[in-house]
Every structure is written in C-alpha cells, then in structure tokens.
Amino acid sequence: MMERGANLPDDHHVIRYVPWSKLLKDENDNVIGFLAQAFALRPDEESLSVNWLEYFGGDRKTNIRDSVLEFRRTLIKVGKKSAFGIANVKKIKDTCSAVAGVRVRVVYEPSKNNPTHSGIRRLPRDDLTLLDALAEDAFGELVKNSSV
C-alpha cells in the first residue's frame, strides 16, 4: 500500500463529494455539472479534500460504488440529491498548470476513519478561473449519489 504523503499516480483518479447547493442545474433543477465553488478551499483547509478512487483495487464501477459508500460512512451527512465529481490526477495537474500556472500535488492523506482520503495541495484560494476549469474540465465525470 502507498505511504502517507505520497503522490497519487498520474493515471489514477480522485472523487469529491459535492452537495446539492454546489451542483450546476438547469432551469428544471436537472443536474448538469458542478459550480466552481465546489472546488474552493475553506479558510481552514490546506488542501482540497478528495478520496482516492483506485484505493479499493476493483474495477471502475466497483471502485466508484465503494468510494461513495466510504463517503456515506465517513461524512456527517451525504444528501440524497448530492453528487460526486471524478477526475484523473494528471488532468487536475495539467489544468492547474495551464490555467493558473501552479504545480499542485495530489497526495495520499489517509485519516483515522477514512483510509482513502487524499488532498489536492498547493491549490490557490481565490482563483475563480481555475475553479471554473476544475468544475467544467478536470472533474468531467459526475455520479449522482442516488444512482449508487
């Protein structure tokens, strides 16, 4: 298994929980993507919290299911209308480099109750252009909580 603090491999993926309030919706409340705010750091955060998708070692569908179950187990509340964004590690790095000129690190940071926890480090705090690019491009796959 990977050591704490190690960079996740470029060909792996991370998954982020996105509550209903940070999902992009059309005029009929159909979810069509993510708002930039879904990827903004809170004032007390040093990294953007994500989970490592390949941690579970199964096929993609199984890893997504197991990751969603891990979020449900470890978060205080996972809303029924929420969703999850999935991104390739290299795509995150490339997006941050191209849009904001920053070299982020996607690091394995397991916690006591979440062995899959990881973080995106060196992410600028208030770069709305970058947050939009993460929402629209890097986290290009959306999985509704209700579908798992």
Structure confidence by residue, pLDDT tens digits, 78-102: 999 999 999 999 999 999 999 999 9
Contact 79, 144 (CB under 8 A): no
Tell me the Cα Rg of the chain: 14
Q: Is residue 77 part of a domain?
A: yes
Asked whether residue 1 carries a pLDDT value surpassing 80, the answer given is no
Task: For residue 49, tell me if it sits in a domain.
Answer: yes
Q: According to DSSP H, which parts of 26-114 are helical?
A: 60-74, 89-100
User: Considering only CA atoms, which of 139, 144, 133, 127 is closest in space to residue 40?
Assistant: 127
Alpha-carbon gap, residue 76 to 108, rounded angstroms = 21
Please give the angle made by the CA atoms of 72, 120 and 52, to the nearest 5 degrees.
45
User: Could you give the CA distance from residue 103 to residue 47 in angstroms, rounded to a whole number?
Assistant: 13
How many domains does the chain contain in total?
1
In a domain, 88, yes or no: yes
Reported as a single tens digit per residue, the pLDDT across 11-63 is: 999 999 999 999 999 999 999 999 999 999 999 999 999 999 999 999 999 99
Q: Which domain holds residue 18?
A: 13-28+44-147
